[in-house]
Each structure stands twice: as structure tokens, then as C-alpha cells.
Amino acid sequence: MKELDSSADIGALIGASKHIPPARFLFWRWIGVSLAIAVTVTGMLYLRGASGNSAPSYLTTPVSRGGLVITVTATGATEPRNEVSVGIEVSGTIAEVLVDHNDIVKKGDPLARLDTKILSAEVAQAQASLLVTRATQKEAEATFVQSENELARKLKLNATRGGTLTTAQEMEAARADHERAAASLESAKAQVAQAEAQLAAKQTELAKAEVISPINGIVLARRVDPGQTVAAALQTPELFVIAEDLTEMELRIEIDEADVGQVRERQPAVFTVDAYPDEEFAAEITQLRYAPISSAGVVTYEAILSVDNSDMRLRPGMTATAIITVRRIDDTLVVPNAALRFSPRLRDTRRSDGGGITGALIPRIPTGSTQLASPTRGKQRMVWVLDETNESRPVKVVVGATDGVSTQVLSGDLAEGAQVITEEADPS
């Protein structure tokens, strides 16, 4: 058996070319791996140092002077200033309806009529009863006069003859007849008055068989048709709804209890409706009511606004969103609300591994990297200002009114033109 060369055997095992010595090949492989590790570690250390030492960048807005318009928003619905429900006080069958929806009516115009056959008969019956009672009254008057004359005659005779012509019993009978005649006359007069009242009631019912418009206006609703029977025994049926004047309307809105302290009568407002979403209508508060309205635990107060509707485009019942101007502030220092909401992140620069290659290769756990600095509450707030050296510093201010976008600064070490931070810029 032929003896093999030990160097050739080793070269065959490691797959090296027979032209490259095995020892040199292993040396250069070790050198290459070492260089790759060194480059990787160096890159990680560089990137870590760069990211850890980079300062954050911010978006800023300069502090300015200007005006603020403070508003309160509320919702409600449009309504006529005076809306009347017209009913009927007598029962019967509708014979005729004289108006329809959207008709213009004047005060005193007939709107509908009942069938008056029964009512007319009742009036005639009451008139006949009145005639009977008047005849009874005349008879009672004649009887009274007769009894009065008879009593007077007996008294005169008794006085001239010394009381010898009539007895005491006859005198008492004459007086009793006179008193009965007087009572019958009073009863007849009462029956006449009663009959007159019954006749007046029947005549009134007959007059009310015609439904009359109580105001000038427009018919918003008609709830009756010819041939329909209406019964007014328990409550007055509603036949028509009439709005007095739609050229002048009201807007009823509900003010939240948190805002009602700022709202006053005579304050101007604008509102929009869904029918004209791109147009604003002017209004003015005419009344702020004290009675609370509670719904689902929310308390509101009703405000009445006057609306000019001379073009008749607004209709009753339209849902409206009103913006009331409660205050105007001119020439004041203002900051954007975003600056009052901003708080910088608290950055932790401590190393958990003490540095070195091991710390660079093993990521450290950030401690407190997402914690936010709490802003000052109440009227005293805190804003962050970016100074000339691009460093951020906190400034305490006392704030006033806000319009939802900007806030008034009443006092504090904050000058016009200072760059207040509104948010942290995206590093990407």
C-alpha cells in the first residue's frame, strides 16, 4: 500500500487548491472574518452615537397680536312668531272646507262650515220657548196688577168705614193673593231670562258652526275634510294651524349650561340650515329663558332669536345651527391652541450597559422615552419656546379667552414674535 503525503491529505480535506499552501489559506480566512466583524461593530457604534446625540426638531409658530371673536354654538329649529291652532267648539258634520294648505287668509275669513240643520232647529225651538215664557210673564203681570188693586180697594174701604165692611180674615186673604201674584210675576220674569239665555246659547252654537280665522296669516295645516264628523264633547278638535306672519320668524335654540353665562339678549348671531348649507342667515337674541331643559342628564336653556324672512325661503321646523358672537377682543397677544397642548418628550440619556462593544451589539431598553411633561392646569398654562440657540425652554403664561383656534395671553414672559413650539417634527 502506497504511503500518502500528509500535506496533500490535509489540502484535500479542506478543499484547497493544490497550488495554494494550506496554512496560508487558513490564515487569510481568519483575517477576512475579523475584518468583517470590526466593520460591523464600528458601523453600529457610529449609528448609535449619531442617533443618540441628534437633537429633536420642532415646528413653531410666531406669537402675534390680533383680534379674537368668541362664539357659542347651539342648535335649534325655526318657528313662526305666532302660530294658532284653530278648532271648533260644537259637534257636527263638516259640510264645507273653504281653505287649503299654504292659503293666505285674513282675520274673519271663513275656513270651514258645519251642517247647520240640527243647530237651526234648536235655535227655532229656543225662540218658541222664549215666546211662551214672555206670554206667561204678561199673564203674571196682569194677575199681579189685579191682586194689587183688590188689596188696595179693601184697605180703602176698611179705612173709611172703621173696619166694619171687611173682616180680618178677608184682609189676610187679599194680602196673600197679592203676594202670590208678585211671586208668580218674578217666576215668569226668571223663566223669560232663562229662555233668552238658551236662545243666545243656541244662536252662538249656530254662529260657531262656521270656523273663522282669528288672525291674518298662512294655513300651515288642514286636518279636516268635507263629510267628516267632529265631536267637541271632551276637547276642542284641531282643524287648522295658521302662522301669523312667516316674513318674521323665530329661531329657538338650546344653550348648554356651560355657555349660558356668556350669552346675553341683543347679541348678534348667524345660523345655517341644511336647505342652504353654503349660506348664513342673520339673527339676534331677543329672549334668554330661565327655565331649564333637562334631557339625559344634560341641562340646557332656551334662547329665542328673531329672524328676518322677508324672502320666504325659511320654513317652519328647519333644523338650524347657530353661532352667537358673545365677545370681541381687539389687539391682544395670542398663541395657537396647539402650543398650549404641546409637551416635549422626556428623553433618557442613561446607558444600561456602561458602553463598550457588548452594549453596542445588545439593544438597551429605553426608560421613560414615551413619558410626557404635564402642562400646567387652569388659567396658568405653559408653552415651550425655541430660542436663538435652537434650544427649547418652558414659559409660564396666564391665558384668557379662546376662539377654539387661538388663545389670548394675559401675562407672562412671552413677547410678540417669539417662536412657540406647536409639535415635534417627523424625523423622517
- Of the chain, the percentage scoring pLDDT greater than 90 comes to 50
Mean pLDDT for 20-28 is: 58
The CATH fold assigned to 58-68+333-424 is: 2.40.420
> pLDDT digits over 245-292, tens only?
899 999 999 999 999 999 999 999 999 999 999 999 999 999 999 999
pTM of the entire structure? 0.62
pLDDT surpassing 60 at residue 377: no
Cα-based torsion angle of the residue sequence 228, 221, 243, 317 in order, rounded to the nearest 10 degrees:
150
Q: Is residue 173 very low, low, confident or very high in pLDDT (cuts 50, 70, 90)?
A: confident
pLDDT of residue 352: 44
> Are 161 and 117 a contacting pair, CB within 8 Å?
no
Q: State which amino acid sits at residue 306.
A: S
Q: Going by DSSP bridges, is the β-strand pair 380-386/392-402 parallel, antiparallel, or unpaired? A: antiparallel
- Across 40-44, 211-215, 401-405, the highest mean pLDDT is recorded for 211-215
pLDDT of residue 362: 47
Break the chain into its structural domains and give their ranges: 6-51, 58-68+333-424, 71-81+245-329, 86-113+212-244, 116-208
pLDDT surpassing 50 at residue 374: no
> Are 151 and 175 a contacting pair, CB within 8 Å?
yes
What's the start-to-end Cα distance of the chain, in Å? 73
User: Which residue carries 268635507 as its cell?
Assistant: 226
Q: Is residue 156 very low, low, confident or very high in pLDDT (cuts 50, 70, 90)?
A: confident
Q: State which amino acid sits at residue 402.
A: T
Cα-based torsion angle of the residue sequence 97, 103, 106, 109 in order, rounded to the nearest 10 degrees:
-10
Whole-number Å distance between alpha carbons of 156 and 167: 13
Mean pLDDT for 154-173 is: 71
- Alpha helices by DSSP H, listed for 262-351, are 337-341
pLDDT of residue 348: 45
User: Which residue carries 183688590 as its cell?
Assistant: 150
3-state SS, residue 308: strand
pLDDT surpassing 70 at residue 55: no
Q: Is residue 313 very low, low, confident or very high in pLDDT (cuts 50, 70, 90)?
A: very high
Whole-number Å distance between alpha carbons of 385 and 93: 82
Mean pLDDT for 343-354 is: 55
Q: State which amino acid sits at residue 371.
A: Q
Q: Is residue 2 very low, low, confident or very high in pLDDT (cuts 50, 70, 90)?
A: very low
Q: Which CATH number fits domain 86-113+212-244: 1.10.40.60, 1.10.760.10, 3.30.230.10, 2.40.50.100?
A: 2.40.50.100
Q: What residues form DSSP beta bridges with 74?
A: 322
What is the CATH class of 71-81+245-329?
Answer: mainly beta
Q: Is residue 57 very low, low, confident or very high in pLDDT (cuts 50, 70, 90)?
A: confident
pLDDT surpassing 60 at residue 237: yes
pLDDT of residue 171: 79
Q: Which residues contact 50 (CB under 8 A, 6 or more apart)?
A: none
Mean pLDDT for 35-46 is: 60
Higher pLDDT, 367 or 357: 357
pLDDT of residue 245: 87
pLDDT of residue 164: 56
Mean pLDDT for 302-314 is: 95
